[in-house]
């Protein structure tokens, strides 16, 4: 029995060696497969060529845009696979935020290179300036102050001095600059940019004024610009612009006060904290159209081309009232009882939502 056992030991050692060899071979195969998969994943994510139409393409990054949102957008458009890998790479290797500007992506650049490029403002080729309809001149000036690609020469001056330096023949900057999305060469001056925006707004205003409807209650195009800014702030629904214009046109014709909240808010300035009270409506300012007759002294925002054109072509209804519906848009009425009912309907809608 002991001899039989002693003969089986070498055989067991051979089997163990064979098993170990198979295990090592299996581990090697697994590692090779993992290596190949990793290479494929990296090629489809970090090292995937950024999709470029032609030899070069502009890539615009907006203020506040994040890497997460940028990568998610690329994934939604099927321009990159495994977005989680890109996010992980960014977290480990890129320790800065995306910088607003316009960058040039060339054929052959991969995702890693693009992600790193947009973290450094020095790589930007152009500045992208978004001037939103209904924002104020003050907000426009602040955006230019913060833009590192813009050379500063006038934006730090008081408003009156800034306008003088720009050769603009008005005393107040509000409403004078056309809202839109603009692209400027790196190193453009704030003076060049503001002059361009002013000239565009004046061209829009001049052309609309020449084609205006007859018998409007505006003595000059500046008064039309004031009204356009109010209309811009009252509705974000394009189809309502001429209706709102018609309401204010008829109020002016009838000698009614405009009684529009956006003018009250503008007149409150920094005192406005998101809500206006009955006391605010009763407190006189140069812009409070609940206490003054006619138009305020200046525009209250930067009106769009659509708002300017609507101002000079009001609808031909008999409506002199409007109120929000609570579900988007407004309800327009021609008499006080109908208006009061519309107000009550709005209150009920808002109560139901709360």
**pLDDT confidence band for 41 (50 / 70 / 90):** low
Residue scoring higher pLDDT (265 or 188): 265
For residue 13, give the H/E element and its range: helix 2-44
Average pLDDT over residues 294-309: 97
Give per-residue pLDDT as tens, 96-142. 899 888 899 998 898 889 999 999 888 888 888 889 999 999 999 99
215 by Cβ neighbours in 10 Å (0-12 / 13-18 / 19+) ranks as exposed
Highest mean predicted confidence (pLDDT) among 78-87, 145-154, 173-182: 173-182
Q: What is the dihedral of CA 224, 229, 234, 239, to 10 degrees?
A: 70
Percentage above 90 pLDDT, the chain: 61
Residues 6 or more apart whose CB falls under 8 angstroms from that of 322 comprise: 243, 244, 247, 330, 331, 332, 333
**pLDDT confidence band for 320 (50 / 70 / 90):** very high
CA pair distance 272, 219, nearest whole angstrom: 31
**pLDDT confidence band for 3 (50 / 70 / 90):** very low
């Amino acid at each position: 029995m002991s001899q039989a056992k002693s003969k089986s030991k070498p055989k067991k050692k051979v089997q163990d060696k064979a098993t170990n060899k198979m295990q090592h071979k299996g581990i090697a195969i697994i590692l090779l497969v993992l290596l190949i998969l990793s290479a494929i994943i990296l090629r489809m994510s970090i090292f995937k060529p950024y999709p470029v139409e032609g030899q070069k393409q502009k890539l615009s990054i907006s203020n506040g845009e994040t890497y997460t949102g940028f990568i998610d957008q690329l994934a939604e458009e099927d321009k990159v696979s495994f977005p989680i890998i890109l996010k992980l790479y960014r977290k480990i290797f890129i320790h800065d935020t995306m910088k607003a500007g316009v960058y040039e992506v060339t054929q052959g650049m991969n995702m890693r290179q693009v992600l790193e490029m947009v973290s450094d403002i020095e790589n930007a080729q152009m500045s992208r300036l978004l001037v939103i309809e209904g924002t104020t001149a003050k907000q426009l000036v602040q955006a230019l102050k913060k833009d590192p690609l813009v050379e500063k020469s006038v934006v730090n001056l008081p408003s009156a001095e800034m306008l003088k330096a720009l050769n603009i023949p008005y005393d107040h900057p509000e409403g004078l600059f056309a809202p839109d999305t603009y692209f400027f060469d790196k190193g453009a001056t704030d003076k060049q940019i503001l002059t361009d925006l002013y000239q565009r707004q004046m061209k829009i205003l001049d052309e609309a004024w020449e084609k205006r409807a007859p018998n409007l209650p505006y003595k000059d195009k500046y008064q039309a610009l004031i009204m356009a800014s109010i209309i811009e702030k009252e509705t974000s629904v394009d189809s309502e612009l001429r209706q709102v214009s018609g309401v204010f046109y008829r109020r002016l014709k009838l000698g009614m006060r405009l009684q529009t909240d956006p003018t009250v808010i503008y007149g409150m300035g920094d005192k406005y904290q998101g809500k206006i009270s009955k006391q605010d409506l009763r407190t006189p300012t140069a812009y409070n159209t609940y206490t003054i007759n006619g138009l305020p002294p200046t525009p209250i925002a930067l009106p769009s081309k659509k708002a300017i054109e609507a101002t000079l072509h009001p609808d031909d209804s008999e409506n002199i009232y409007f109120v929000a519906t609570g579900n988007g848009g407004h309800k327009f009425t021609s008499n006080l009882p109908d208006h009061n009912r519309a107000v009550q309907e709005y209150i009920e809608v808002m109560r139901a939502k709360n």
